[in-house]
Chains A and B, each alone.
Chain A
Amino acid sequence: MSSALPDLVMALVFIAYSMVMLLSFGGLLTWVERKQSAVMSDRIGANRAYIRIPFTNIKLVWMGLFHGMADGAKMLLKENFKPNAHDKLGYFLAPFVVFTPVLLVFAVVPFGGTIDPGALFPSLANWFGGRTYPMQIAQLDAGLLVVFAFSGLTIIGAMLAGWASENKFSLLGGLRAGSQMISYELVMGLTVMGLILIYGTVDLGSIVRQQSGQLLGVLPAWGVFQQPLAAFLFLTAAIAENKRIPFDLPEAESELVAGYFTEYSAMKLGLFMFSEFIQIAIVAALFSTLFLGGYNLPFMSDAGFLLPGGREIALSQGVRVPLQMLTFLGKVALLCVVQIQIRWTLPRFRYDQMLGLSWKLLLPVSVANLVATVLVQWWRGGGA
């Protein structure tokens, strides 16, 4: 009975942390995208929105950081325009069906190692009773399966939006979104199968812990070194899943106005946009969890560092927990930047090229990768 309350408190703390992290990533990425795209094309980028300190003439610009706030205010204050002919329930539900699973995916992603709050805050040691918590909202054995289940839900949202808008462009966009996301979902699932074979589990916390070892005595045992091809395929499929350039055919503005959210306005449109930006962070978090050792630096585990030479560096918990959280945030931020760089470098595919890439190239390659992994694992396990 007495153990339920600390568990609840820790769960709420983790939930609050993840929510704040994801939403601020979503907000900041709008700024990062603007500024990064500007810098890489010799421009300055958004720099006009400002906050004036009242009664003075001091305007805070802060390198255009307030443009995100201006966007949010605009989205909230605009008229919530609805087309005359629309399916009321579906039209209303679609943005939420797109937005909610994106947030839910993060529930199973670990963003730090095991925390012992009693040791961190000695005054609360009695209350916690020496219990430790992995820094993860839900420690599910089916972690990776939950990720795929939830990210599959966003397809429904996109198709629902396209259908319920009663608009030809929206419908085409919804159809495109459906076929595209289903194709790339398949590739994504197959690429991750190899990792599941190697780690022998779908629990993301366990996958991260297994990556803190060494590979061949030199490399960290990260997924990207064990399955480089799978890492590449996963990133490609994840970007396609996110419907961003070069895979933004569901909303190709030169062909479909805005695709499946053509008829959406105000904050409903904002939800679509925001979920796209949060999904960048989610993809980055998943990629770093599966392939880049999650919240750990190379050769680092909950006990401390175990370097290739055999040297050990023990870390106290007060150092380790912030270090792990910062490492995770840093990896996610870096991968977000990489994704934005890809988005502003490549032109959009043609629709048949996009589907051909998935079914003719990525899918066979990922199957071949899976077969090779199976054979290697079988040989490692002694054959027979």
Chain B
Amino acid sequence: MSTPDMEKGSAPRVQPVRYARKEYWNEPTMNWWEKAYLPEVLRGLAITTGVFLRNMGKWITGRRGAVTTYYPEERRADFAPRNRGKHVLTQRPDGSVQCIACNMCATVCPAKVIEIEPGFDMNDPAHPKYPVRFEIDYSRCVFCGMCVEACPEDAIRMEPDVPNLVSDDRYNMWMTMDEMMTWRPQSDVAKPYPPKPVSLTRAARSEGGAPSKH
């Protein structure tokens, strides 16, 4: 609503600095050949038909022409070697569960999927607490591995496997304790159990911390 009269007496206006606005997107750059649309349609059809014929040729000659799999029947064999998709509860040499039901994994779990019901065993003075029930809801687990890091007893680990989650019912996706106790101490090469008994003095010597003789 500024009229020339209103501006007459006022001070000379400060011209606002004009910053070059950043262009966040490209203007579509198409040449006339692409704008003609039809050649590009034909090119697209050639691409899709090529893919179709390639895959069809594979299917007809008895090979797989798809990158997808029939999931529950077929599993992909090419999971990364570092993939950790299933929990295991480690065991003591006598086969009892190593977990002491301290609830640290359940506390640290960001998805709150671990449920532990502790029990008390007074016949084992070294490990009086043990889990009666240790269950993980795999329908909510995010596979972050923080339970493994939190465990003070190395009682829970994750192994390069995938859980069999296929189910009609979300309550069938709970992994119970007996399903997780598949690890056998004897077959673990990376970390034999029990570790060799090491005396404190020998350990100190081997580390080079012992006083030298000369």
Q: Report the contact-size class of chain B (Cβ under 8 Å from the partner).
A: 10 to 19
| A324-356 near B? 1/0 per residue, CB < 8 Å | 000000000000000001101110000000000
Tell me which of B44, B47, B52, B70 contacts A39 (CB under 8 A).
Answer: B52
Instruction: Report A104-146 residues with CB < 8 Å from chain B CB.
Output: none
B51-A41 in contact (CB<8A)? yes
Tell me, yes or no, whether B185 is within 8 Å of chain A by CB: no
Q: Look across to chain B and name the residue whose beta carbon is closest to the beta carbon of A347.
A: B44
Partner of A342 from B45, B56, B59 at Cβ < 8 Å: B45
The A/B interface has a contact count, at CB < 8 Å, of 41
Given A342-B45, A346-B41, the answer on whether A42 and B55 have CB atoms closer than 8 Å is yes
Count chain A residues whose beta carbon lies closer than 8 angstroms to a beta carbon of B.
Answer: 14
CA distance A282 to B59 in the complex (A): 30
Instruction: Mark A35-57 against chain B: 1 for CB-CB distance below 8 A, else 0.
Output: 01011111110010000000000
Q: A44-B70, A346-B41 are in contact. Are A39 and B65 (CB under 8 A)?
A: yes
Identity of the chain B residue whose Cβ is nearest the Cβ of A44 in the assembled complex: B66
Given known pairs A39-B56, A43-B68, the reply for A341 and B41 (CB within 8 Å) is: no
* Chain A neighbourhood of B52, CB < 8 A: 36, 39-40, 341
Known: A345-B44, A346-B41, A346-B44. Contact between A42 and B49, CB under 8 A? no
Which of B41, B47, B49, B70 contacts A47 (CB under 8 A)? Answer: B70
CB distance from B71 to the nearest CB of A (A): 10
A39 and B55 contact, CB distance less than 8 A: yes
- B68 x A42 contact (CB < 8 A): yes
| Complex alpha-carbon distance, A50 and B51, angstroms | 28
Interface of A, helix, strand, loop or mixed by DSSP: loop
Residue numbers in B under 8 Å from A42 (CB-CB): 51, 55, 65-68
CB of B48 within 8 Å of the partner chain = yes
Report chain B residues within 8 Å CB of A47: 70
Across the interface, which residues of B come within 8 angstroms of A344, CB to CB? 48
Given contacts A345-B45, A345-B48, contact A40 B55 (CB under 8 A): yes
The contact string, 1 if C-beta is below 8 Å from chain A, for chain B 58-99, is 010000011111100000000000000000000000000000
- Closest-by-CB residue of B relative to A246 is B41
Instruction: Tell me the complex Cα distance, A300–B98, Å.
Output: 84
**A36-B55 Cα distance, complex, nearest whole Å:** 10
B-contact 0/1 string along A138-182, CB 8 Å cutoff: 000000000000000000000000000000000000000000000
Q: Which residues of A contact B67 (CB under 8 A)?
A: 42-43
A44/B68 in contact, CB under 8 A: yes
Return chain A residues, CB-CB under 8 Å to B48. 40, 341, 344-345
Q: A residues 13-46 with Cβ under 8 Å of B?
A: 36, 38-44
Give Cα distance in the complex from A344 to B49, angstroms: 10
Contacts of B65 in A (CB 8 A): 39, 42
Which chain A residues lie closer than 8 Å to B47 at the CB level? 345
B8-58 contacts to A (CB < 8 Å)? 41, 44-45, 47-49, 51-52, 55-56
| A281–B49 alpha-carbon span in the complex (Å) | 20
Q: List 8 A-B contacts (CB under 8 A).
A: A39-B56, A39-B66, A40-B55, A42-B51, A43-B66, A43-B68, A345-B47, A345-B48
Chain B residues close to A by CB (< 8 Å): 41, 44-45, 47-49, 51-52, 55-56, 59, 65-70
Identify 20 new A-B residue pairs, CB closer than 8 A, beyond the known A43-B66, A43-B67, A43-B68.
A36-B52, A38-B66, A39-B55, A39-B56, A40-B48, A40-B55, A42-B55, A42-B66, A42-B68, A44-B68, A44-B69, A44-B70, A47-B70, A341-B45, A341-B49, A341-B52, A344-B48, A345-B45, A345-B48, A346-B44
